[in-house]
Amino acid sequence: MAENGAVLVNIEDTIATVTINRPEARNALNQDVFLGLQQAAQRLKESPEVTVAILTGAGEKAFSAGIDLKMVAGGGAGLFSQYRSGFDSLFAMKSIFTMYEDLAIPVIAAINGYCLGAAFELSLCCDMRLAADTAIFGLPEIQFGVIPDLGSTQRLPRIVPPGYAKELILTGRRIDAAEALRIGLVEHVYPLDQVKAEARKLAEEIAKLQPRIVQGAKRAASLWMNMPLDSGLRAETDICTGAGSGGSFGEQAREFLKKE
Among residues 121, 187, 236, 251, the one annotated as catalytic is 121
CA distance 124 to 118: 10
Question: What is the rounded (10 degree) CA torsion for 177, 144, 63, 215?
Answer: 90
The DSSP annotation for 75-107 comes to: T-----TTSPTTHHHHHHHHHHHHHHHH-SS-E
Give catalytic status of residue 121 as yes or no. Answer: yes
CA distance 26 to 32: 14
CA distance 105 to 255: 26
The number of C-alpha atoms within 13 Å of 225 and in the hemisphere containing its C-beta is: 17
3-state secondary structure of 21: coil
Residue 52: phi and psi, rounded to 5, are -145, 150
CA distance 179 to 173: 12
Helix (H) or strand (E) holding 31: helix 31-45
Report yes or no: 216 and 248 within 8 Å, Cβ to Cβ: no
Give catalytic status of residue 46 as yes or no. Answer: no
Among residues 24, 141, 205, 255, the one annotated as catalytic is 141
Residues serving a catalytic function are 121, 141
